[in-house]
Amino acid sequence: MKRIGVLTSGGDSPGMNAAIRAVVRKAIFHELEVYGISYGYQGLINGDIKKMELGSVGDIIHRGGTMLYTARCEEFKTLEGQQKGIEQLKKFGIEGLVVIGGDGSYRGAQKLTEHGFPTIGVPGTIDNDIPGTDFTIGFDTALNTVIDAIDKIRDTATSHERTYVIEVMGRHAGDLALWSGLADGAETIVVPEADYDMEEIIGRLKRGQERGKKHSIIIVAEGAGTGFDFGDRIKEAMNLETRVTVLGHIQRGGSPTGFDRVLASRLGAKAVDLLLEGKAGVTVGIEKNELVYHDINEALAKKHTIDLEMYKLSQQLSI
Ligand code: F6P
């Protein structure tokens, strides 16, 4: 293999730049040529492809977002779109591809591999919902952004003695909600992976009130319902002054944490090593601090779950 490509796709996540840097530098270290594909699969279809040099990735390790830009591409879900992408790869003489993104991006990588084009997935999403890795690139940064926001909300919640419902991202995944809730001592955490009982949530808030608790924090993952809906239900049931904050896309930005930069550097470099070893259709990950890789089909077939022990613990600590 002489020439590889790299793209970022789907929702961006802090640390994607560090991963691109690792792919480019590791490839050049091994005397490969690297091409950056802008705007994810859309850019691949359109031939938005440029050669990258060592300096192309200078001064980006600490920056959020992705220097290669990103997109969600409907056309690449079709056979025609995939064939157009492969034609472009051939035109540029690219023999292997690293795709940095979440589960949607992995489906594109899976298709490319099925069509015989060696592709490696690097997990980049704030949702932490890719099977085959304990952590995805960007999760730790987003978690710390959420924690920072909740700490601030807690100050005003205390001053005004209010109940706050905070909606965090996670269309199908509750990791951000669970980890930030545990880190911030939230009274209730609602995640899409576990059933919740509104009566129980109200009961918990009431017991707190009876003990003299003057404010409460409830964290809702967007995949489990809207913060506003939970806010209304609590207000109605308890006649409590309630405020709702939807943290939104603020969670996707910002300078990556040290953890995410190191994770991105390790996973990006590993993806290049795997291409050089002739691997295709695999996803890299980290499990118990060891770099691992799994068949992308197997990873995608698994359903993401939260750590149920941690969920139980959060309930035990917020009695
Ligand atoms: O996949 C990551 C994610 O941040 C989800 O948590 C969220 O639902 C979604 O992206 C939002 O995507 P968009 O940027 O298209 O609004």
Give per-residue pLDDT as tens, 55-73: 999 999 999 999 999 999 9
Query: Do residue 175 and residue 242 come from a single domain?
Result: yes
The answer to whether residue 87 sits within a structural domain is yes
| Dihedral in degrees, nearest 10, Cα atoms 35, 96, 82, 298 | -130
Compute the average pLDDT of residues 68-92: 97
Query: Do residue 96 and residue 168 come from a single domain?
Result: no
**pLDDT at position 241:** 85
Surface-to-core class of residue 284, CB atoms within 10 Å of its CB (0-12 exposed, 13-18 middle, 19+ buried): buried
The answer to whether residue 311 sits within a structural domain is no
Cα separations (Å) of 200 from 182, 196, 234, 242? Answer: 18, 8, 11, 18
The answer to whether residue 297 sits within a structural domain is yes
The answer to whether residue 318 sits within a structural domain is no
Boundary (domain end) residue, out of 190, 224, 252: 252
Parallel/antiparallel/unpaired status of strands 49-52 and 33-37: antiparallel
Atom of ligand 1 nearest to the CA of 223: 8
**pLDDT tens, 155-185?**
999 999 999 999 999 999 999 999 999 999 9
pLDDT greater than 90 at residue 216:
yes
Confidence of residue 246 (pLDDT cuts 50, 70, 90): very high
The total domain count for the chain is 2
Cα separations (Å) of 76 from 14, 110, 177, 262, 283? Answer: 24, 12, 31, 31, 19
Query: Do residue 69 and residue 206 come from a single domain?
Result: no
Cβ contact 252:245 at 8 Å = no
**pLDDT at position 199:** 94
* CA pair distance 313, 309, nearest whole angstrom: 6
pLDDT greater than 80 at residue 202:
yes
Query: Do residue 269 and residue 132 come from a single domain?
Result: yes
Query: Do residue 112 and residue 85 come from a single domain?
Result: yes
Ligand 1 centroid vs 171 CA: distance in angstroms? 7
Query: Do residue 145 and residue 119 come from a single domain?
Result: no
Report which protein residue has its CA nearest ligand 1's atom 8: 171
Q: Is 48 among the residues known to form the active site?
A: no
Confidence of residue 80 (pLDDT cuts 50, 70, 90): very high
Parallel/antiparallel/unpaired status of strands 282-287 and 163-168: unpaired
Does the Cβ of 248 fall within 6 Å of ligand 1?
no
Residue ranges making up the domain that contains 160: 140-252
Report which protein residue has its CA nearest ligand 1's atom 2: 11
The answer to whether residue 206 sits within a structural domain is yes
Residue 133: helix, strand or coil by DSSP? coil
pLDDT greater than 90 at residue 290:
yes
Atom of ligand 1 nearest to the CA of 10: 1
Q: What pTM, to 2 d.p., does this model score?
A: 0.97
**Which residue in this structure is represented by tokens 């309630």?**
242
CATH code for the domain of 54: 3.40.50.450
pLDDT greater than 90 at residue 85:
yes
Does the Cβ of 169 fall within 6 Å of ligand 1?
yes
Query: Do residue 187 and residue 247 come from a single domain?
Result: yes
Compute the average pLDDT of residues 18-35: 98
The answer to whether residue 307 sits within a structural domain is no
Query: Do residue 30 and residue 94 come from a single domain?
Result: yes
Compute the average pLDDT of residues 275-291: 97
Cβ contact 189:209 at 8 Å = no
pLDDT greater than 80 at residue 288:
yes
Residue 20: helix, strand or coil by DSSP? helix
Query: Do residue 168 and residue 203 come from a single domain?
Result: yes
**pLDDT: which is higher, 239 or 257:** 257
Query: Do residue 59 and residue 171 come from a single domain?
Result: no
pLDDT greater than 80 at residue 319:
no
**pLDDT at position 304:** 87
**pLDDT at position 105:** 96
Q: Write out the H or E segment, with its range, that includes residue 4.
A: strand 3-8
* CA pair distance 283, 124, nearest whole angstrom: 11
Query: Do residue 133 and residue 263 come from a single domain?
Result: yes
Does the Cβ of 123 fall within 6 Å of ligand 1?
no
